[in-house]
Structure 1
Amino acid sequence: MRNTKKPADCKISGFFLLLFFTLSNNSFAQHPSPFSTRNESPFSLIYGLPLASPAKLLENNQSRWISSFNISNTINSQTSNSENLFIDIETWHVNFLYDTNLKENWMLRVQLPYIVHSGGFLDSPIDSYHQALGLPENIRPDFPHEQINIDYNLNNQNQVNINSRQNALGDISFQLAWQAHLTNRSALSYWLSIKLPTGNEDKLTGSGATDVASWASMSYRLTDTRWLYGQGGLLYMGDSDVFTDIHKNWAGFANAGIKFQLWNEIELKAQLDVHSALYDSKLDFLNQVIQLTFGGSYTINSKQKLDFAIAEDIKEGSSPDVNFNISWWIYL
């Protein structure tokens, strides 16, 4: 039988075949990398709560740098029978992470944080952002922009009072990871972290104690373009020099996310992060946290990738009002 398909039809069919193979190539089998975020509250950053971690570790003789920049902004006033908290702050949290393969199935991560607490510049844009999306503004409209104030009282005794810019090195951590399982469809790794007291507790850039955390990270491919990922673990916090009367020694943490691969270079992700209370307090801002992070990644080339994300507090008043994250991944 003679082929009656017109040249234009052939071109159209060829285009869709090319599109199909493009959307089905191996780049979609890439295991997801979570957003490099966590609860960015000044009262949380001082502890060794780990960033969300990838389930797939580096391959043999591979290493990478990750530069992650978080800007969080919050204003909150809370009171209980024995506690009073007012916080109006913008925090810049820069993480420099170096990952290297030690030997088959083992990876070492070194995490160097730098923390700045200030009045910032995002108060006005965040007001506009909340208004545009119809999000709750809490007490924001009642206070002037770009001020810094952290004041916490327990049983009428002042515990923390900061009203000027603070910046210093945070608590350095070392993390060891083991690849327990890896296929094209799923991955599982186990992590162990130790956080050292290199920060400054008076500036709220460290806790003055050593923390240890252990967790498992997993990822699972649903389809060629959709992945699930998550982690869960326990954190032991040494006896802190901050909030010594109410700080806890143990906390649990977890996250779960989904990745959609729209194109070879572009992916969208949504990530839910939770952790139990770090303090024995009735105040929401010092209690358990639920936050949602959403955004995307852009693959620049085979060696570099950029993440862009926004985190919002799902449990209102328990974490910063908003957090913006930019992370730059460089594979060596």
Structure 2
Amino acid sequence: MSLFSIHSRVGVGLLAVAFSLPSPGFAASSGTWLQTRDSNPFALASGLPLAPAIPQEGRWQFDVTFNVANTELAQFRDGASLVFDAETHESRISAAHAFNERWSLRASLGYLTIGDGFLDAPVERFHRAFGFDNGDRGQLGTTAPVIEVRDTGITRYALDKASSGSGPLLIDLTRQWQLSDQHLFGIALGGKLATGSVRRLTDSDSSDVSLSAFSMMAFGERLDLGIRAGMLLRSGNHLLEEHARDQVPFAGIVLRYRLGDKWSAWLQSDAHGALHRRLPDFLGGTANQLNFGLSRRLGNASELQVTLAEDLPALHSSDVALTLNWRMRTGQ
């Protein structure tokens, strides 16, 4: 059974449960989703959109995000190979504004650094604590950073020194419908502009467009549920262009539970289809990043979110990712 089939069944099941539960009222429409994506730099270089951001009418929402992801692996498939030993640091600023109760616009720009990093030892200890031997570091005999993609003896991409630069500019326009006090539905049209570098692995040089639909529901004052699904269309890709797919589906599910007036617990799944053909799973397989998060309100206008992400299935996305996000809203 494919990951997207599993997502679909889980989504249908959650919706069935959702509509059977009593719902006294819908919580604040903004803030239901975490500011996370697949931390694989080949995914960050694409136009895969962030989860929806829906500020309240006439207000702004700002997100300042820092993400660290660490991966070491060697994979092979049908004459193609991948060696990946690197740590990525992404800093991102996003600004969203709701023009009225229906329409909102967001722009997001990131800066990516690829190097040797500092998470090797903590990641190894974390995996060993749970008995996972695929997290051991230092097995490749490489000196990070090393990223090399080969196909039939030809090097398709190679990076062997620290690199940094601006990532793509992401823009999305959202239209929402308040179906009831506790249920919101929306569609989002996203776009990606190439503002980074293929050589530095911060951009694919493509012009991408995405279209997605999402639904958010609240149950009482504590539990929020969100689901989304969409399609990414890519054009002019110069990063592994011989293997790049022009259409990539994506989907996500989020659960947020408020532990009190200030604290919340999160579980969010960010999944997408294969970005490439005939390449090892890290590049050519369906990927999913499962995020476990905690957040704390800082006054009435801001919130601090901390998340830990694991790859599920293993070795299809970044091994371990940590994200720190500071969310601020105007007019609170």
The one-letter amino acid of 1:296's match is L
In the alignment, the residues of structure 1 paired with residue 314 and residue 234 of structure 2 have an alpha-carbon distance, to the nearest angstrom, of 25
Counterparts of 1:180-329 in structure 2, within 5 Å, are 180-181=177-178, 183-286=180-283, 287-329=285-327
Question: Within the alignment, does 1:174 sit opposite 2:167 as a pair?
Answer: no
CA distance in 2, matches of 1:188, 1:264: 26
**Seq. identity, %:** 26
Amino acid at match of 1:288: T
C-alpha separation in 2, matches of 1:205 and 1:113: 9
Give the match for residue 113 of structure 1. Answer: 110
Structure of larger gyration radius: 1
Amino acid at match of 1:37: T
SS of the aligned residue for 2:304 comes to strand
TM-score (structure 2 length as normaliser):
0.87
String of CA shifts for 1:178-209, please: whole Å, max 9, x gaps. 11225431111211111011110110101111
Residues in 2 aligned to 1:226 and 1:103: alpha-carbon distance in whole angstroms: 26
The runs of at least 4 consecutive aligned structure 1 residues that moved more than 6 Å come to none
Going from structure 1 to structure 2, the CA distance change for 1:101 and 1:28 (only over 3 Å counts) comes to closer
Q: CA deviation at 1:28?
A: 8.6
Deviations 1:29-57 (A, max 9, x none): 33452111111111111100011224xx2
Q: Does 1:76 align with 2:78?
A: no
Describe the superposition over 1:131-172 as per-residue Cα deviations: whole angstroms up to 9, x where unpaired: 223334345242469721001101110011111111001111
Contact kept? 1:195, 1:210, Cα under 8 Å:
yes
Choose 138-147 or 167-176, whichever is displaced more. Answer: 138-147
Shift of residue 70, structure 1, vs aligned partner: 0.9
Q: Secondary structure at the match of 1:297?
A: strand
Matched residues, number: 305
> Offset of 1:289 from its aligned partner?
0.5
AA aligned opposite 1:78 = Q
Counterparts of 2:78 and 2:57, CA distance in 1 = 56
Structure 1 spans left out of the alignment, 5+ residues: 1-25
Q: Which moved more, 1:178-187 or 1:233-242?
A: 178-187
Q: Is the contact made by 2:86 and 2:116 (CA closer than 8 Å) also made in structure 1?
A: yes
Distance 1:145 1:121 in 2: 16
Alignment of 1:46-195 (within 5 A): 46-54=45-53, 57-138=54-135, 140-143=137-140, 147-181=144-178, 183-195=180-192
In 2: Cα distance, 1:289 partner to 1:201 partner: 21
Matched, 1:43 2:42: yes
The letter for the 1-side match of 2:178 is H
The 2-side partners of 1:143 and 1:326 are apart by 30
Whole-Å Cα distance in 2 between the matches of residues 128 and 144 of structure 1? 19
Gaps spanning 5+ residues in structure 2: where? 1-23
Q: Separation in 2 of the partners of 1:238 and 1:245?
A: 13
Moved more, 246-255 or 275-284: 275-284
Aligned to 1:131, the other structure's residue is in SS state helix
Give yes or no for contact 2:87–2:114 (8 Å, CA) kept in 1: yes
- Give 1:81 deviation, angstroms: 2.4
Q: Does the Cα contact within 8 Å between 2:243 and 2:279 map onto a contact in 1?
A: no
